[in-house]
Amino acid sequence: MTADLCVAGGGMAGVCAALAAARNGRRVVLIQDRSVLGGNASSEIRMHMVGASCSGRRPGARESGLIDEIRVEDAVRNPQRSPAMFDLLLYDLVAREPNITLLFDTDCTGCDMEGSRIVAVHAVRQMTEETFRIRAPFFADCTGDGRLGVEAGAAFRMGREAREEYGESLAPEMADSRTLGSTILFTARRHDRPMPFAAPPWARRFTEEDLALRSHRELEYGYWWVEWGGELDTIRDNDRIRHELLRIALGVWDHVKNECPRGADPSAAYEKWLGGEEPKLESPANWALDWVGALPGKRESRRFLGPHVLTQDDVLAGRTFRDQVAYGGWWIDLHPPAGVDAVREYPSTQVETPHLYGIPLRCLYSRNVENLFFAGRNISATHIAFASTRVMATCAAVGQAVGSAAAVAVEHGFGGAPELLADAPLRVLQQRLLAQDAYLLDIRSEDPTWGAEIHASSETPQGPAAALGDGITRRTRAQWNPSLDEASHQWMSAALPAWVALRWPSPRPVRRIQLIFDTGFERELTLSMSDLYSSRMVRGPQPETVREYTIEAGGWRADVTGNYQRRRVHELPEGIVASSVRLTVHATHGAPEARVFEIRVN
């Protein structure tokens, strides 16, 4: 089996890496060791994806690109918040891509090497008794645990660095092997009659004092702090960790159902973390478990070493890099390795990241295996910096960057990832990412309108039509990073219908028109089993998004109804020549005006 890129791992990073490479015309083999895609976001674990917006505490910083496409698609097609339907959505997105060959239930078991290059990956699918050998010029380890990279001999670390190694004030004084722990989640449902629960004899017992610093007010979804195993090897001790987490999860539910004095919970840490109202206290008498995870959601194991190791200072200083290809912004979110056994410690210590920060390409490929990329929680970062980069929306943005980087490397005939650092290919990569709706902190798209004059039927002071050509496709805030301005970067009309037109002095061939609409980055949007968190979201088309529009160029015309996505691409027939492109917005999903960030003409 051959490909341009072999991606190992089908979590959010791996899915986005595979989609990005495939949509850039590259042939991809995606190896996934489970029967579903999504990793910690899948129905097997059910953790909601968070990222730079800090669960609503940094409005507008939500990730764009592929992860926004996925979130919006889920909100529209899965308003009922079904985890199984999210699995199906990811499968559908991958299955639609003719350039992706997906191998479910398949484990990477080895590599063929030539010097410092991977030549082929060996994989096994036990249920079909098949073995595979995948040859490719580039490989991406998105497995979380780093299985592919370890087989290739890529340098990595586990555990926490000493404070003095990178000058990190949040690091322990001495290096150790401790990590963040793993979690098993559960969901429950309200019934119309009392629902008894008897914990098995092997479940742990908890008192209110044991859980004094761990909020257990919500009944339908619990609990991210059911965490354990950070003092063990989260890879080799995973089976032991799973059993202990089941003991803990069932013991916690037993306490909530049968012993907890509702109203006596002294902690509101989770609700404060969400920044909203605390859930109303409700008797658990009529509540019953309807799902308990069988697979631990793993936070941390191996971290590969690239030419650059992201550090606490990089994160807290909001550092941007010449070779940045993604960004982060989640808190430095540290948990006690002992998890629930650290009863006198809060389950999370979150150090605010004052700014968004860049993630450089040099953190996304191996320092000693030249054709190995990585994306997800295993990128090149210290334990402290990883505590911010590890969250899934950031991992997805990094995955898109890695898939795009591999595509550019193949296009240029490169033999190794370091060749992408030269000025010309790096510029191609960054501009490609921006053109495909990724966001880079202080880099603009280069003239998406071809220098057109921009005219509109109306505009508002906060949304001038000229913003369509400024190369930025989101509202920015100066406090996000010292390199940013305070501007909407979008055309906003006065009323509907409304039109905007790009005009050039002379006709030119037009083959492709891309539109970037508004999908409400000021709000949170992600699949969550938490009713409280989900109450802040619109589970359907986003009100700001253009629903019906007409696009015209040189006698060609497209009338679109029912749109709900942020990015729409129109491929025009060969031979279309136009001196103008006109967009007419007829309706949105609720907003009284048109909102458009970009009209890109190729």
Cα 363 to Cα 325: distance, rounded to the nearest angstrom: 10
Q: Is the pLDDT of residue 389 over 80?
A: yes
Over range 428-453, report the average pLDDT.
94
Query: Do 313 and 262 share a structural domain?
Result: no
Answer with the residue of higher pLDDT: 269 or 418. 418
176 part of a folded domain: no
- How many independent structural domains does the chain possess? 3
Last residue of a domain, one of 249, 275, 298: 298
Count how many residues are written for the chain: 602
User: How many other CB atoms sit within 10 Å of the CB of residue 345?
Assistant: 13
Query: Do 506 and 495 share a structural domain?
Result: yes
DSSP code for 170: T
DSSP 3-state of 420: helix
Give 333's Cβ-side CA count (13 Å radius).
20
User: What residue numbers bound the domain in which 259 lies?
Assistant: 182-298
Lowest-confidence segment of 105-109, 224-228, 482-486, 561-565 by average pLDDT: 482-486
Over range 542-551, report the average pLDDT.
99
Query: Do 582 and 499 share a structural domain?
Result: yes
> Could you tell me the CATH number of the domain that includes residue 488?
2.60.120.260
Query: Do 369 and 355 share a structural domain?
Result: yes
| pLDDT digit string, tens, across residues 203-224 | 999 999 999 999 998 999 999 9
Q: What percentage of the chain exceeds 70 in pLDDT? A: 97
Query: Do 304 and 155 share a structural domain?
Result: yes
Structural Rg of the chain based on CA atoms: 24
Query: Do 493 and 411 share a structural domain?
Result: no
- Which pLDDT value is given to residue 101? 99
Q: Which of 236, 235, 212, 209 is nearest to 225 (CA)?
A: 212
Over range 358-370, report the average pLDDT.
99
| pLDDT digit string, tens, across residues 176-190 | 999 999 999 999 999
168 part of a folded domain: no
pLDDT class for 276, splitting at 50, 70, 90?
low
Place of tokens 């004052």: 354
Q: How far is CA 531 from the centre of its chain?
A: 21
H/E run at residue 77:
helix 66-77
Dmax (CA) for the chain in angstroms is 81
The dihedral built from the CA positions of residue 460, 462, 463 and 469, taken in this order, carries a sign that is positive
Contact 49, 70 (CB under 8 A): no
H/E run at residue 150:
helix 147-151
Cα 183 to Cα 223: distance, rounded to the nearest angstrom: 8
319 part of a folded domain: yes
Query: Do 154 and 10 share a structural domain?
Result: yes
Query: Do 150 and 84 share a structural domain?
Result: yes
pLDDT class for 277, splitting at 50, 70, 90?
low
- Which pLDDT value is given to residue 233? 98
Q: Residue 444 burial (CB < 10 Å; 0-12/13-18/19+)? A: middle
27 part of a folded domain: yes
177 part of a folded domain: no
Answer with the residue of higher pLDDT: 407 or 271. 407
Cα 125 to Cα 216: distance, rounded to the nearest angstrom: 40
Cα 83 to Cα 571: distance, rounded to the nearest angstrom: 34
Cα 368 to Cα 307: distance, rounded to the nearest angstrom: 9
Query: Do 149 and 21 share a structural domain?
Result: yes
pTM (predicted TM-score): 0.96
Cα 76 to Cα 71: distance, rounded to the nearest angstrom: 9
- Which pLDDT value is given to residue 263? 44
The dihedral built from the CA positions of residue 62, 423, 380 and 97, taken in this order, carries a sign that is positive
Last residue of a domain, one of 409, 435, 461: 435
> Could you tell me the CATH number of the domain that includes residue 12?
3.50.50.60
174 part of a folded domain: no
Query: Do 427 and 318 share a structural domain?
Result: yes
Average pLDDT along the chain: 96
| pLDDT digit string, tens, across residues 95-125 | 999 999 999 999 999 999 999 999 999 999 9
Query: Do 92 and 19 share a structural domain?
Result: yes
Q: Which amino acid is at 206?
A: F
Bridge partners, residue 156, by sequence: 304
Over range 27-34, report the average pLDDT.
99
Q: Is the pLDDT of residue 265 over 50?
A: no
Q: How far is CA 592 from the centre of its chain?
A: 30
- Which pLDDT value is given to residue 485? 84
444 part of a folded domain: no
Last residue of a domain, one of 298, 313, 331: 298
273 part of a folded domain: yes
Query: Do 283 and 221 share a structural domain?
Result: yes
Kindly list the distances between the CA atom of residue 19 and the CA atoms of 14, 184, 436, in Å, as whole numbers in the listed order. 8, 29, 12
Q: Is the pLDDT of residue 271 over 70?
A: no
Name the phi and psi angles at 360, rounded to 5: -80, 155
Cα 209 to Cα 491: distance, rounded to the nearest angstrom: 55
DSSP 3-state of 439: coil
Q: Is the pLDDT of residue 268 over 80?
A: no
